[in-house]
A and B are shown apart, each in its own frame.
Chain A
């Protein structure tokens, strides 16, 4: 994909061991293309882990927080992998590709840590002989096509019914979180109706050898719909606007899903799983910090990670820090996410964000910050 990115004028940066495009034209243009038409992202840096066998489901239900038993063949779910203290090792997507066949899509920056953890848990799992675990990150690559106009052209690249996974007559019939397999130029690829932008769209996982051709075909098919290549910069502004967490910002090993506001994906009543005891305790007694979303008032520099958050009074006290922040291309104002003590976490509460030694007013808003 390196050549494809260079040809499109991509500004490359080093990210998780890969060279990834931050932007092709401008972050704002790419962001707005996704909101209004369509954008295509190379997400090949993400990791893939396969888990197979009769014990795979029970194993995954033990190491992940969401309830794996809910998944039909072809269905995916957002989920988290926690340590014994309930701290997040990674957030990820889990797909059930077959009865005993699972695919995990994990963050690029966490591939080694996640796989080491999974191997450790596998070694200690009583039914370990009835399942296998494989790190397929080098074998697979992925692209995401996102935006309201993706439905106009995606079926040109994946025509006809699915060959495996969710049974659909056409790719645009896939419901949210569902995936199916299609044959692309003689290679089996998985297409899921998922995304990280807040727009309708699909993510495609394919063998690395097929990805450049897939990228080119999608760009060609979407030309009349206005599809644009989009980089990591736009990916970050899009997900910040809809308050999706990014590991290393909203989530880390010292932060629980409850603190990060993703308790919906923690199934405390499904039975035991790693971190359950700590999370149940925290649910009962309350968290010491809570993730909030905020908007700046008027003309101010954009909020950025690590900027201090203060109470909005003279002098004031520091409440916490910004974990994600940017100028919102859709709203034209500074937006961000940060942690504050739970008693300060109500919408409409006023805050002050410290930027280069001066404080600027902001208000806590309900999530998502941007809504269509």
Chain B
């Protein structure tokens, strides 16, 4: 049974979004980290980069495979989580907290309405 916090929004591609004003923090869900198992490397985008909603922007690597991460919302990246360079395992141990990937300044708050709520995401992963 995956953990799906009720205060977040979700993309079908298993990213989560935490909104605070016009900034969003993005990471991958508990379901995603569980499927990947041991994350050994995270390739993050650069701060300042402009992204469109659903654009591939990061890569998370487990022992076996590399997976693309898609930004659920469009905007400009304000900060990336440097802790993941030293300790990629944070994605597994704390996917909604210390395992965050990047923060983005929303260019179009309307993007949020295209995302799933917790119940919809739960149904999506078939839990």
Chain A residues with CB under 8 Å of chain B are: 22-23, 25-28, 233, 237, 299-302, 304, 326-327, 329, 356
Contacts and interface: CB of A to CB of B under 8 A. Distances in A.
Chain B interface: which size bin?
A: 10 to 19
Contact of B63 (A25, A27, A300): A27
A302 B61 CA distance: 8
B63 A28 contact: yes
Given A27-B64, A327-B40, 15 more contacts: A23-B64, A26-B37, A26-B38, A26-B63, A27-B38, A237-B63, A299-B85, A300-B41, A301-B61, A302-B61, A302-B63, A326-B64, A327-B61, A327-B63, A356-B43
Interface of B: 37-38, 40-41, 43, 59, 61-64, 66, 85
Given A22-B64, A27-B63, A233-B63, A301 B37 contact: no
Contacts of A25: 37
Most chain B beta-carbon neighbours within 10 Å: one of A25, A26, A326: A26
A254 to B, nearest CB: 26
Contacts of B38: 26-28, 329
Contact of B66 (A299, A300, A304): A304
6 contacts: A22-B64, A233-B64, A301-B66, A326-B63, A327-B40, A356-B59
A23 B63 CA distance: 11
Contacts of A356: 43, 59
Nearest to B62: A27
A112 B25 CA distance: 52
Nearest to A236: B64
A304 B64 CA distance: 9
B85 A302 contact: no
Given A233-B64, A329-B63, A302 B41 contact: yes
